[in-house]
Structure 1
């Protein structure tokens, strides 16, 4: 049986993470803590002698800079894939989770209710986001069947991958924790499809990591 293993890595902390702002496609860089987290994550992979075949990253700077820590330590090349981006949060992007309900209450309500077809005024609906992430996962799996792949992405994207691998309903309340710079494993076996392995591992970080606010 051919098994493909993916180690999913959330990017390190950004200033907007610390301010609890919805980033979406807004290209915010890592802050100093986030850069440190990226280096600690890469060193943890080195310490366990993880053998992997390919490294993928979202094109957004916070993910690409996190992947760069792996590139520098392992001497590998990162393959950039915009399909691994965070969900586009439309009119909510840039608002903190305390500001959004006051500034755009109608859109915020659709967001927290997980209205599957609402695009948050110019963003992506949950259905559109799910389709994008499913296609990205399937493409990686088909391209690299039987390999071990590192994927550096975002909190909402990794939550969607968790939903796909665990067969959790798109409309269900989020149950997966996705801290900054965490290591999360899913695998794909022929016949059985996707499954979730170890999740939300942050033992390699010296300080606590922030949870994602992207519902």
Structure 2
């Protein structure tokens, strides 16, 4: 079987990342630092050969993917299945605000109850288990569409967390002890239909620190 390679990338920084405000499906653009990170990322990947560049349809991911695509003469294909987890009524709030308004739901979330539900907001929230299946299935579907190829997939911190857990066989209930950095490069291969982690958290191309995704 030909080996399929996935370079999985978290989008650059947004203003809401910087102030610890939960984004979810809210469509926030990159800030100036995020644009700088996207350009640095593009330069770091200029020597790679990609068969496709795929992105979440949210603009923070799409902007990051577009920076990479400019140096490869490839279109950016978008897929809403690569979006961040939907947090329902939590979206748009600071962590402190979530804890104050929804103490029981916040406690369940922080204790990693992977089947707990959040209050509905503009959208219906996903459980972590639902989100995990969506994110991993989306990555594997794109890999299956390009057997033996190399793909750049630009998504979100939660999507990267799901891929990491899938590759290492980590229980969904375990605390997240690994970092998911803005504009980081994370390399996977597909073996027998499963994700295998090759390298994680490459950020040497960034001259300044990148923010870890909120836990």
Instruction: Say yes or no: TM over 0.5.
Output: yes
Is the 1:187–1:194 Cα contact (8 Å) retained in structure 2?
Answer: yes
The match for 1:103 among 101, 104, 108 is: 101
Out of 111, 114, 120, the residue aligned to residue 113 of structure 1 is 111
Match for residue 197 of structure 1?
A: 198
Q: Structure 2: which 5+ runs fail to align?
A: none
d(CA) in 2 for partners of 1:88 and 1:114? 16
Where in structure 2 are the equivalents of 1:174-213 lying within 5 Å? Answer: 174-190=176-192, 193-213=194-214
Q: Is the CA contact 1:90–1:119 (under 8 Å) kept in the aligned structure 2?
A: no
Counterpart in the other structure of 1:78: 76
Q: Is the 8 A contact 1:87 1:124 kept in 2?
A: yes
Aligned to 1:73, the other structure's residue is in SS state: coil
TM-score (normalised: structure 1): 0.94
- The 3-state SS of whatever aligns with 2:131 is helix
Runs of 4 or more, structure 1, over 4 Å off, are none
Alpha-carbon separation, structure 2, partners of 1:137 and 1:109: 30
Q: Is 1:162–1:176's contact at 8 Å kept on the other side of the alignment?
A: no
TM alignment of 1:162-173, pairs within 5 A: 162-173=164-175
Secondary structure of residue in 2 paired with 1:198: strand
Deviation at 1:176, TM superposition (A): 2.5
Give how far 1:187 is off.
Answer: 1.1
TM-score, with structure 2 as normaliser: 0.94
Aligned Cα RMSD in Å? Answer: 1.2
